[in-house]
Structure 1
Amino acid sequence: MVLLWQVLLLAGCDYFVSEQQAQVPFYNRDSRGRADTIGKLGTQSISIPAGVIDGWARYMGDPGDFADPKIKAKYQRPPESYDLPIESFGFLYRITDGDIYTSFRQTEEDYRRDNETLIPYGKPFPWAGVIIYGEYDAAPLNFNFTVQDDFRSARDVTHFDYIQQPQPLYGLTVYRANNGIDPKTGEPWKWDDNAKDIFIKKDQAGNIKTYIDCQFTHHINSCHHMFYNDDWHIRVLMIYSRTYLPQWQEMEGNIINILDSWRVSREGKLLGKQIGKA
């Protein structure tokens, strides 16, 4: 579970512009009076409910987590607006019902309880760590190069090939390292970070839009699931227990539905009912 929070924290940063400094018409607020986080994610202006983001939203141009402290000290972020490009932010998504974690909502208590009652006993943990990345350059929105580079690295570094399996799984094309066999033992892989199973989904043009890898890491069979959305111009990363892999397509749809519920006009007027609002 530590890894999940570490990954989410990488999506945030500590450069906060106060509401008084921001030149915007108004902020949407929750029942406790907390102001939303605002900006433009990919192609859409959004208002993220207070208490949802784990850490802070990182905006384009913000110094990185490991940037020179002198650079951080001199940096001044432009005033917040519904057009200020968001680079990334993270939150927690509950796979079993499509809800999300928000502080001062029931989901806060639910998440704490699940940590205490499920993880210590090795039971499937129903929460996924999610990071959303805005994509603003001209790079293609697909994983074609990523997958081929993974295959090349396996061949050059660990000296085995990824073999496409004859049957798809859950609608995904499956590739297994050395056809699923550890060459050292002649038995199925039991634990090797370099021997993940790879699952992909292509669009009608043949471009890889969904890329999932699942592996054993310290006895936790986890998946890293990435997908692109062309309408939003974003890349999404989710990390969750492999138990929930059959729901990969539902998860992708639910994440986009959550983002859609946060859409606003350029003046900040909500276009729907926000999911996760306290």
Structure 2
Amino acid sequence: MTTQIPPPQKRGRWVVVLLGAMLLLMMGAFWLYLEIVNASLWGFGPREMVMAQYTPKDVVGDLGGMKVVIPRGVAELVEYDDDPGWGEKRKGPRPVRTSESKLASFGFYVRYPDMATFADPEMRKDYEKYGTREWAFNHGIRGGDPWLNPGVLSGTSYPGDGFLDRRSVELDVPIGRLSWEKFDKLPQKEHGLTIYRVKGIEADLADPQKELDFSVKDVYVYRNQAGKVTTYIACRPKALYSSACMHTWSMEDKGVHAKVYVSYGPEKRKNWREIQKMITQVILGFRENPNGDISSPESLLKK
């Protein structure tokens, strides 16, 4: 039995059909990718529902010993010490919040470097611009995004004064002592920061299996003249696909018992001093004045 070979004209049509199917498949895959990107930015739910996380009124309370009034629309995912935990139901009516109510945590968005917040409704539109499918298509996932998303922990969520020193003890643990990780202290500094690298990390960087291992990191620490740690930055190395930095500091030197953290790309690490100072000043700008107003973050930044 002889297998018949289609004539060149029919073979050409099949090639066109096959290429067309492949193109449609690629377009569908890219559309799915953008949907996943959109979901990762806004959560798996309607955008309106996600944006509803922002409080429609001013947030009042005690932030680590500082009375605050946070303008409406600025703070998100606000928690107080007496709020029920995950999966728990509140017992009794929701309490009326006052300046005596102990804040446990909240987050907010700020645009770097002008430090604008969602106190101006137009700023939310600017933030959303970097999360659209069109922007992701042309610039990558939130490409060129100037917005930062700091988080603040206080009250029962605060790890206590000196937590950065306690956390940094592991960095200088000698070989042979009990420690989850062993670090090498590098001889050079970067932007005033002492660098610690996990031992054997070079082998990890060459291993694709380590792409999602978040223990693979470099740690950058700043100590003041008294030797006290005031800045702790953990970064995924640039060689890894998902390089990012988590920058943590305490406001205890400002008389506020609160932990602040913010993540950003490694390209912003050179601006760590300014980022830490300016976000701190924005938070201090939430301080309640005797007349019930709040200080202007813009005026604080000029001091």
TM-score by length of 2: 0.67
Matched residue, 2:198: 177
Q: Choose from 103, 113, 131 the match for 1:86.
A: 103
- 3-state SS of 2:130 partner: helix
Higher RCO structure, 1 or 2 (CA under 8 Å, sep 6+): 1
| Inter-partner Cα distance in structure 2 for 1:114 and 1:44 | 34
How many angstroms does 1:212 deviate by? 0.8
| Inter-partner Cα distance in structure 2 for 1:185 and 1:170 | 27
| Inter-partner Cα distance in structure 2 for 1:149 and 1:159 | 8
Matched residue, 1:126: 146
| Inter-partner Cα distance in structure 2 for 1:3 and 1:81 | 34
| Code of the aligned partner of 2:221 | I
Q: Which has the larger radius of gyration?
A: 2
More helix by share: 2
Matched residue, 2:262: 238
| Inter-partner Cα distance in structure 1 for 2:172 and 2:87 | 32
| Inter-partner Cα distance in structure 1 for 2:207 and 2:187 | 21
How many angstroms does 1:240 deviate by? 1.5
| Code of the aligned partner of 2:259 | R
| Code of the aligned partner of 1:113 | K
Matched residue, 2:185: 164
Given that 1:93 and 1:101 are in contact with CA atoms closer than 8 Å, whether structure 2 keeps it comes out as yes
Matches within 5 A, 1:27-106: 35-55=57-77, 57-64=78-85, 66-68=86-88, 72-102=89-119, 105-106=121-122
The count of residues paired between Structure 1 and Structure 2 equals 241
| Inter-partner Cα distance in structure 2 for 1:244 and 1:5 | 23
Given that 1:142 and 1:209 are in contact with CA atoms closer than 8 Å, whether structure 2 keeps it comes out as no
After superposition, the Cα gap between the structure-2 partners of 1:58 and 1:151, relative to the gap in structure 1 and judged at 3 Å, is farther
Q: Choose from 262, 269, 273 the match for 2:292.
A: 269
Q: CA RMSD in A?
A: 3.6
| Code of the aligned partner of 2:243 | N
After superposition, the Cα gap between the structure-2 partners of 1:272 and 1:144, relative to the gap in structure 1 and judged at 3 Å, is closer
After superposition, the Cα gap between the structure-2 partners of 1:46 and 1:158, relative to the gap in structure 1 and judged at 3 Å, is closer
| Inter-partner Cα distance in structure 1 for 2:128 and 2:235 | 25
After superposition, the Cα gap between the structure-2 partners of 1:67 and 1:180, relative to the gap in structure 1 and judged at 3 Å, is same
| Inter-partner Cα distance in structure 2 for 1:195 and 1:151 | 17
After superposition, the Cα gap between the structure-2 partners of 1:138 and 1:145, relative to the gap in structure 1 and judged at 3 Å, is closer
After superposition, the Cα gap between the structure-2 partners of 1:127 and 1:150, relative to the gap in structure 1 and judged at 3 Å, is farther
How many angstroms does 1:82 deviate by? 1.1
How many angstroms does 1:130 deviate by? 1.0
| Inter-partner Cα distance in structure 1 for 2:251 and 2:180 | 34
Residues 223-268 of structure 1, C-alpha deviation per residue, up to 9 Å, x if partnerless? Answer: 11110011212110111222211111111111121122221146x6
Given that 1:124 and 1:241 are in contact with CA atoms closer than 8 Å, whether structure 2 keeps it comes out as no
| Inter-partner Cα distance in structure 1 for 2:90 and 2:146 | 39
After superposition, the Cα gap between the structure-2 partners of 1:115 and 1:5, relative to the gap in structure 1 and judged at 3 Å, is closer
After superposition, the Cα gap between the structure-2 partners of 1:184 and 1:125, relative to the gap in structure 1 and judged at 3 Å, is closer
Matches within 5 A, 1:251-262: 251-262=275-286
Residues 116-154 of structure 1, C-alpha deviation per residue, up to 9 Å, x if partnerless? Answer: 3655534343222211112467933331222334777x9
- Unaligned 5+ runs, structure 1: 7-13, 17-33
TM-score by length of 1: 0.72
